Amino acid sequence: MLILFTSLRTFLNIRGRPAGIGFKTSVHAGHPIFGKSLGDDEIRGHRPPVPDEEVSMILLEVNGKKYEVKANPDVPLLWVLREYLGLTGTKYGCGKSLCGACTVHIDGKAERSCQIPVSNAQGKRIITIEGIPEDHPVKKAWNAVDAPQCGYCQPGQIMDAVALLEKNPNPTDADIDGAVSGNLCRCGTYQRIRRAIHLAAEAMAKGKQIVGGRILKGAEPQPVPFFAMNPYLRIGTDGRVVIIVNKSEMGQGVYTSLPMLVAEELEVDWWKIGIEAAPVGPEYYHAQWGVIQGTGGSTSVLSEWDRLRKAGAAARTMLIQAAAEMWKVDPRNCRADKGSVAHEPTHRRLSYGDLAEKASQMKPPQDVTLKQPREFKVIGKSMSRLDTPEKTSGEAVFGIDVKVPEMLTAVVARPPVFGGKVKSFNAEKAKAVHGVKEVVQVDSVVAVVGDDFWSAKLGREALEITWDEGVHAKLSTEGMREQYRSLAKTPGVIARREGDSEEALRKATRQISAEYEVPYLAHAPMETLNCLVDLRADRCDIRTGTQFQSADRDAAAQIAGLRPEQVKIHTAFLGGGFGRRANPQSDFVSEAVRVAKAVKKPVKVIWT
């Protein structure tokens, strides 16, 4: 069999949360929000002054609130929503109106905001995913069927679904397919999306309540002290449990499957669990990969099966011991159940919140008894995903959504050929673009740094670069195809031998010979690669969606001239990964660190 991979010559800009999901959280906590809501006394955040001759004062009505925005009239509405108003539920995917991630409602019609100049939206009624009520039947149906996986495309899918049902309250499968056909889901959730729309339509028609899932509602819970039982979980005095997950959530469900392992042994109410992304540290290294912290190869549950179950069982044992000491009873007469410890002879009961502080001070047991499969209440059961409500509401924070004070944004010009280098460049026209702050060469790329994404992108388009294409200047798809054909005729390396295939083929009554070709396949996650780096003299904070935290930390430390422990990786939700964000070379993270080092300010690099 001959397998050919073609189109390697094509250069692709591969589009490649803060912790604490599971509880009501604020997407914008700690992030600067730009723009002023008319009627509000404060401007949330800060935006640099803009020359009057290059901008207009634009009045917008978004989600029932009126805003005045000082911006270039040609800036796409998408970027005004995201960077001026902080409404990051509307996503950037392609920038060409092809993927649907940026869908909003304008005067009741679903529109792609990446292609609409903000001036064209003035005087119109704009609704974003944040403006769809949490108890809307579509959002409730999305939660009930656990429609999202990575979740990046889901706000756009929901906006199209709401618009469809407003026009057609009883759609057929064909109607649904037609309405959402312009929305790409790299995770392939189309069947669940169709099921959710039918469920919402039925609920709206019959006035039925949608059962299943949950919605984000109410105020954020009051902050309370949390106490660490071990590196993998903390318990608050109100009984909430935070599970520290050392795997990246990119749609495969580890923010649900791994907490299930802990919850099974801990005996805790499923909806009292919140998730926190683990920092980089030896206790979080991959159980099968040695000194590597990462996610890949479908190994998350396999590698954490014992470790996380033991963490939950150890915490349960400590909580029971704490209760027994407080009651002065034999711990063998106590049992844990649904977030509390009960003393069966006297029917006394204490919540985990009541016991957390005392239990955290106890020595963790060396040996614990794990449940037998016949005792499982969580593992093997269909549990609602913990991250679905945030992904449905638009509150889930992906790497591209994160902001820090004084942050700049960079867009990078890369060589058109693998291995190419910068021969020369003229930054005069790029620097003339309003909002562009700096143009810097970093190794074989040139970064245009601006106040916001759109300024940096326009600056990159104005940049004049002459490339040295190097040894691969004449590399072509056809040339590589011929090379593959030649290599296919040479002896290969045998990875595994089982049985006698040659003898079996010789004795076969019929032999079929075929040649297969497949194209060069890009990972192409919906969320473009991005990385925010805040580099200081004594530390480096990296905020991104990554599959390879330890490699990223070590690469950043080397580039920044810091010790590894001075580099902190803050893992956000990944808008798809598919291995692209598991890069041993840490290319997009390393690039962002180099740009931040050159600019000497916090910089978010966004690929296009």
pLDDT digits (tens, 9 = 90+) for 143-153: 999 999 999 99
Residues 497-510: what's their mean pLDDT? 92
Distance CA 29, CA 543 (A): 15
Q: Is the pLDDT of residue 71 over 60?
A: yes
The 10s digit of each residue's pLDDT in 160-174 is 999 999 999 999 999
Q: pLDDT value at position 18?
A: 36
Q: Which residues are paired to 3 by β-bridges?
A: 516
Residue 10 reports pLDDT greater than 50: no
Determine the average pLDDT of the residues in 315-344: 97
Q: Are 247 and 232 in contact (CB under 8 A)?
A: no
CB 604 within 8 A of CB 398: no
Return the minimum-mean-pLDDT range out of 275-279, 324-328, 493-497. 493-497
Q: What is the pLDDT of residues 292-318, one digit of tens each?
A: 999 999 999 999 999 999 999 999 999
Q: Which of 91-95, 231-235, 449-453, 475-479 has the lowest mean pLDDT?
A: 475-479
Contact 210, 200 (CB under 8 A): yes
Confidence of residue 216 (pLDDT cuts 50, 70, 90): low
Q: What is the pLDDT of residue 8?
A: 26
Strands 516-519 and 603-606: unpaired
Q: Can you give the pLDDT at residue 210?
A: 84
pLDDT of residue 517: 85
Region 472-495: what's the mean pLDDT? 90
C-alpha–C-alpha distance, residues 158 and 149, integer Å: 14
Confidence label for 46 from pLDDT (cuts 50, 70 and 90): very low
Q: What is the pLDDT of residue 21?
A: 54
Q: Cα Rg for the chain, rounded, in angstroms?
A: 27
Number of H helices, E strands in the chain: 15, 24
Q: Which residue has the tokens 């009292």?
A: 272
Percent of the chain having pLDDT more than 90? Answer: 83
| pLDDT value at 213 more than 80 | no
| Rounded Cα gap, residues 435 and 448, in angstroms | 10
Classify the C-alpha dihedral 307-312-318-324 as positive or negative. negative
- 260, 379 contact by CB (below 8 A): yes
Which of helix, strand or coil describes residue 120?
helix
Residues with Cβ < 8 Å from 126, sequence gap 6 or more?
Answer: 60, 61, 62, 63, 77, 81, 104, 105, 106
What was the pLDDT predicted at 222? 81
Residue 283's contacts (CB-CB under 8 Å, 6 or more residues apart) are 231, 232
> 411 by DSSP, 3-state: which?
strand
Tell me: pLDDT of 27 over 90. Answer: no
Cβ contact 84:71 at 8 Å: yes
Q: How far is CA 190 from CA 183, 201, 288, 312, in A?
A: 10, 17, 34, 35
Rounded Cα distance, 208 and 198, in Å: 13
Tell me how long the chain is.
608
The pLDDT value given to residue 420? 95
pLDDT in tens, 341-382: 999 999 999 999 999 999 999 999 999 999 999 999 999 999
Q: What is the mean pLDDT of residues 574-589?
A: 95
Give all domains of the chain, ordered by start, each with its CATH number. 36-131 (3.10.20.30), 137-206 (1.10.150.120), 226-383 (3.30.365.10), 399-471+524-606 (3.30.365.10)
Arithmetic mean of pLDDT over the chain: 90
- pLDDT number for residue 53: 54
- At 541, which amino acid appears? D
Written as one letter, the residue type at 43 is I
What does the alpha-carbon distance between residue 495 and residue 77 come to, in Å, rounded to a whole number?
A: 53
Q: pLDDT tens across 334-349, in order?
A: 999 999 999 999 999 9
Q: Which of 218-227, 465-474, 537-546 has the lowest mean pLDDT?
A: 218-227
Label each residue of 206-273 as H, E or C. HCCCCCCCCCCCCCCCCCCCEEEEECCEEEECCCCEEEEECCCCCCCCHHHHHHHHHHHHHCCCHHHE
* pLDDT for residue 118 is more than 60: yes
pLDDT class of 37 with cuts at 50, 70, 90: very low
Residue type, 49: P
Cβ distance 77 to 85 under 8 Å?
no
Greater confidence (38 vs 336) lies with 336
Question: With bands split at pLDDT 50, 70 and 90, how would you rate the model's confidence at 219?
Answer: low
Residue 22's pLDDT band, with cuts at 50, 70 and 90, is: low
Return the DSSP state at 365. Answer: P
Pairing mode of beta strands 445-450, 125-127 = unpaired
In angstroms, the CA 106 to CA 76 distance is: 14
- Spatial neighbors of 546 by CB under 8 A, at least 6 apart, are 248, 552, 569, 571, 574, 581, 589
Neighbours of 168 (CB within 10 A): 14
Q: What is the pLDDT of residue 217?
A: 57
What mean pLDDT comes out for the span 395-399? 98
pLDDT bin (cut points 50, 70, 90) of residue 519 is confident
pLDDT band with cut points at 50, 70 and 90 for residue 42: very low
Separation of alpha carbons 373 and 554, rounded Å:
40
